[in-house]
Structure 1
Amino acid sequence: MPRTQNEDPDRNLYRRGETWWCRYVLGGAEQRVSLRTSDVKAARRARDRLLKDAATHRDGRGPAPVRTWEDAVEGYLAVQETLVRSNTLAAKTARRYETSLVQISEALEGTPLGDITTATVLDFVMARREDECASSTIHNDLTAWSRVLGYAVANNWIDVNPVRSFERKIFIGRDADMLDPPEDAAVQTLIEEVATWSTDMADLVRWLRETGMRLGEALAIDRQDIHPDKRHATLRRGVKRNAHGLKTRTIDLGRAADMLDRLPGKGRLFANLSADSAVVSTRYGQWCRQRQGREDREAYAEGRPPVQLARYRLHDQRHAFAIASLIDDPTCIYRLMEQLGHSSVKTTEIYTRFLRGEGAQRRYGRDRTRFGSLPPAVIISPPTG
């Protein structure tokens, strides 16, 4: 709502504690409405919407309908279907957004769009942190959230997208800032415990630790991807596109090559597991929670404090492989970059920073008798004569 140069920008506003309220007259009665924000700029925008609706009501046209989070999600998903059909948006990316929107909708059920502020976003982020979600997962959630609110802005349902102005670097950071890779003894214990539930999942955990592959890459790898020497593999499916658009790379299998004899001779190596990484991650997470639940019940029955069991993500095996490789050969960083599929060595350097910082403080353990790392470079001697 436009205002004159000398008009008070905080007219009709007042505070109760940290929360801004709006006071105005409608139908001869004073209205006092909580704006549900401590941010003065957000309060001014909410105030302007209230006054605009009040003016519309006085003109006899009735207030504008209140749009909720569900309205925006429904409208956005219809647009997203069109984007997928036109190949503007990858189907896999669309599914990831839908997964995030399920989580967000649980927190925003029935919420008017005008009530969503950066404070709302911060509450969601903190809750996801308490659930031990990875930074990358939270970033994905906020990207999906921002797309929905962007749809609402385009339809003039709200004036601004608070997710876009949220300080992600401050409140979320990167997974690299929170590295907590399991040491070799912990990985061995994890594999043994997982094997009591699923030998296929236990093999997957060992494969991830021995190769540093991403979960999606491991679930998609096929026997045809293995080279005749049975020491290397070319990854073609489930591979993350890098900055140069490359979608394939050749990796060294290391000690994972010793597992090939007990894995399928045709088709996917992990055919008994879903090819969808989200499904596998969810099943693994359920097992972790059930394992802790059993410990809690046993502790209660025995009258003792429960042991908080280490809960490592499947992706943490990739970090453990990288850390072990740099411990075994500090000069391997460029080969490690290629093995992991990083588009820049700066990404790989997060592991060297970990070893100089947190890893050095806790004297990160390495047991070469349990697991391998990136094999040494093969030096080809020039022909003689």
Structure 2
Amino acid sequence: MSNKEEKPKNIFKPNNSKYWWLRVKINGVTHRETLRTTSKRAAASKAKRRIDELRGQEEAGELDWRFGTGLAKLYDALDSDSSSWSVETRKRYKCSLRQILRTIDEYCTDIGSDIEDLMAVEVTTPVVSEFVERRRASGVTVSTINRDLTAFSNLMKSIKNDGWIETNPVQNYEKQGMKEVLPDIVLPSEASIQKLSARAPGTLNYFPKFLDATGGRVTEMAMLPWSDISGLENPIEGNVQAILRNTKGKKVRAIELRQQAIDILLKIPRSNVSPYIFWNSTEHGYYKDPSNLFWEYGQETGFDARLHDLRHKFAIERLKEGWSIYRVQKYIGHGSVLTTERYYLRYLTAEQKARVSADGDNGFR
């Protein structure tokens, strides 16, 4: 009988938290919440009880604590004739709610998550701060942002009244002032990438390394077909290009592949039945979004990051190599260079910052 401790399921400890967290998918919806304990054994026990509770609520039709559901509920209420708000106020709130949904969706995409999986409890004060900074970066006036925050506060108040959250994060944000709080970026080590890759089946074995070599988002690379790769007949850097179609906002973009990415492609066997590069022999064929799959592998291999952090790693490394901030922005597909600057310049020295910002394209091809 093995003395090796069995790894607990459905619990993890984020790098920026002292507590263990629960992560479980029920009926296609991922639930994440803190277990409020620093003990692994206690966390495993609490997780089991909480999963049973969540499944019971799901069976009773009571479980739908997603942020998007709360937003849609308030939006629909604004259409009701019984609403106490004036017609003009309802119109203004609905406009703000649409902007909140769009901005939070962009934020979720940029951190490698899906707004459909975003639970109300995950909309924290730092997320509200991120919303404000993104609205600022898009050139919106302070008065418009304040109107948006009023609607946002009423949205979270409504969600709080339903018992989905304990505190209103917008009120907490307004108390602490306009202070930006960006999440720390965890840069995976080469050794951890190798271990994660080795755990994945079939062609997914190459997936983490390809993300590391391209800086692509998980979904846009998972759904990349061979037909959108050109130039492999002469597989050298400068000749091979990838067309990315399953991008954020469906904005097609082309990138010139670096030699590291080209060499990976040359190792991947092709399928007679699947058009995708990262196919495999399981019943799934390919994964539209393998984030959850690799999260499980990460728990097994000690990969203390997310697949999306490989995108951050790529961007920071290219900036340190000498790519301009504009070149990185265009290559990884940020809608604005301001987003690239906010996320990555904080990891550079003063000299590096001056260099990457000095020239508009800095050799961009």
What TM-score comes out, normalization by structure 2 length?
0.47
Larger Rg computed on CA atoms: 1
